[in-house]
Amino acid sequence: MTRRSCAIYATGIVCAHLLILGIALLVAQVFQTMIQERIKKEITLAENSRVLEGWINPPPPVYMQYFFFNVTNSDEFLAGKEKPKVTQIGPYTYREYRPRENVTFLENGTKIFATNPKSFVFLRNMSSGDPAVDRVITVNIPFIAVMNELNSYSFFLRSAVSMWMGSMGIEVFMNRTVHEVLWGFKDPLLSKLHAMRPEVDEHFGLMYNKNGTHEGEFVFHTGEKNYMDYGKIDTWNGISQMNWWSSNQSNMINGTDGSVFHTFLSRKELLYIFAADLCRSIHLAYVADKEVKGIPAFRFAPPSDVLAPPDENPSNAGFCVPAGDCLGKGVLKVSVCRQGAPIVVSFPHFYQADKRYINAIDGMNPNEEEHETYLDINPTTGVPIRALKTSHKTTKEFHLFSQMRMLLLIVTVMSNFPVIIVGLGVILLVVLIFLVCRNRQRKNEVKRIDFTEAFHSFATTKDETAYTQVSNQAEDSPENRTNQPLRNGSYIAMSPVEAQKC
């Protein structure tokens, strides 16, 4: 066997093995299953894991951006001449730090206890102004809260209280600095009430007492038992179900806190998040495939039915408190979990809300690009890599992770290893076909050369054996017949034989 034949046979054998192995691995999905099981095992809140460290001390920065609506025609509105007109001011940006504390494993590592205190630092270079200087005319929430508490009393008592507050300069609108509205100030009305009822705090602010404090005590599932439960909330402040809404379904604490999700997300599933500031769980649905700094992601966002009225989404009937007392589409009354304060939340500019709310105020310009809440989540790891959480006064945004690219590259290569094997097999098959064809071509060339040489040899032999000239001597010469050897081309003499008589 020649060296060329050995190379062809060796290429064929290797090619066949690669194709058989690669196709078998593809059909069996051995590597895909192995990688998935490995990732499911690694990405859990196990003790001493890197995932746990990243969960306790999240590395990426989180920014809170606050926007406010400044009422520009308060006098005309109070006089009943015009509907309110507002202009948006902001953002006022704060860096949010959110390490988890008091981390304790429970039930053999299947659950984990933690608190999540948050602190905020103002970032002047990312803000449009100075919150300590900029002033905003907005609704006087303490005033509205007191008047709301008096709804059950007589008209005369409410009028007397209103006049009393007016004599102190307390009105429906207040003019305060952005810092005061956010982080708190000593309110004159609450101070009067505090003197009569010490349990009433005399300070008010949208984020009052929230700098350096946490939203409650959480117990999470670590994912050790089931990777689908990774990061899900088991209890909040010791309860597994709330009690202020009017149905069991609405009182359920579903999903995670929004910081993590299970691995290998599907486009078809709904993701649930418990939002403590909304006092409820909400769901997010798949919107589109995205890419964040080279990392693939699924975008999930709350669909319009999240804040839809019961006639559009019957499951929301439980958020009407008292039962049957429902607001329109796109708004949620959260007074039940805010010490009775008359607070209604919505997406910015009443995005996805009923048109009557949008048309009631001049200055509302809802649009998806600026006002949609969404999460961009890497589907393999379940880690949010970009998020925008918007509500009536806040915007939250954070970005993740540069090291994730290497992890995803390794996962992609390992998951596609059978495809790589098949690809190598196909390449070798092409090489094999080329070698076989080349070998046949060489054999045909050799045959043509041999035929040409044989033909040339035959022609030469034919020339050498040509007939010679016949001798001039008499054919019947005895000497010629007996002594002269026969030659090619010579005539053979034949002697007549006499017929024998019977």
pLDDT the model gives residue 381: 86
Cα–Cα distance for residue pair 259/257, rounded to 1 Å? 6
28-51: pLDDT as tens digits: 555 556 665 666 666 788 776 777
More confident residue, 221 or 481: 221
Q: Is residue 120 part of a domain?
A: yes
pLDDT of residue 92: 96
Does residue 439 contact residue 4 with C-beta atoms inside 8 Å? yes
Residue 433 lies in a domain: no
DSSP strand pairing (374-377 vs 295-301): antiparallel
DSSP states along 153-211:
S-HHHHHHHHHHHHHTT--SEEEEEHHHHHH-EE-HHHHHHHHH-TTS-SEE-TTTT-T
Residue 93 inside a domain? The answer is yes
Position 70 scores a pLDDT of 97
Q: pLDDT per residue over 177-206, tens digit each?
A: 999 999 999 999 999 889 988 988 999 999
Percent over 70 (pLDDT), the chain: 76
260 or 465: which leads in pLDDT: 260
Residue 485 within any structural domain of the chain: no
Q: Which domain holds residue 271?
A: 37-414
C-alpha to C-alpha distance for 360 and 342, rounded to whole angstroms: 19
User: 452 falls in which pLDDT band (50, 70, 90)?
Assistant: low
In a domain, 438, yes or no: no
pLDDT of residue 175: 96
The residue with greater pLDDT, 302 or 415, is: 302
pLDDT at 438: 75
Task: Spell out the residues 6+ positions from residue 487 whose beta carbon is closer than 8 angstroms to its own.
Answer: 468
Token pair for 68: 């406010």
- The DSSP annotation for 41-68 comes to HHSS--TT-HHHHHHHS--S-EEEEEEE
The answer to whether residue 264 scores a pLDDT higher than 50 is yes
Which residues are paired to 333 by β-bridges? Answer: 344
Q: Helices 30-42 and 417-464, interaxial angle, to 10°?
A: 150
Query: What does DSSP assign to residue 105?
Result: E
Comparing 4-8, 335-339, 459-463, 498-502, the range with the smallest average pLDDT is: 498-502
Q: Please give the mean pLDDT across all residues of the chain.
A: 81
Phi first, then psi, for residue 2 (nearest 5°) are: -75, 165
- The pLDDT score that the predictor gives to residue 270 is 96
> Is the pLDDT score of 474 beyond 50?
no
Q: What is the pLDDT of residue 170?
A: 87
Residue 293 is encoded by which pair of tokens? 């700094």
In a domain, 214, yes or no: yes
What is the tens place of the pLDDT at every residue in 79-137? 999 999 999 999 999 999 999 999 999 999 999 999 999 999 999 999 999 999 999 99
Least confident window among 15-24, 56-65, 89-98, 142-151: 15-24
Number of domains in the chain: 1
Number of C-beta neighbours around residue 328 at 10 A = 14
Report yes or no on 403 lying in a domain: yes
Q: What is the pLDDT of residues 423-433, one digit of tens each?
A: 777 787 777 77
- The answer for residues whose C-beta is within 8 angstroms of residue 264's C-beta and 6 or more apart is 36, 39, 40, 379, 380, 382
DSSP secondary structure, 332-348, as one string: EE-GGGTTT---EEESG
Look at residue 422 and tell me if it is in a domain. no
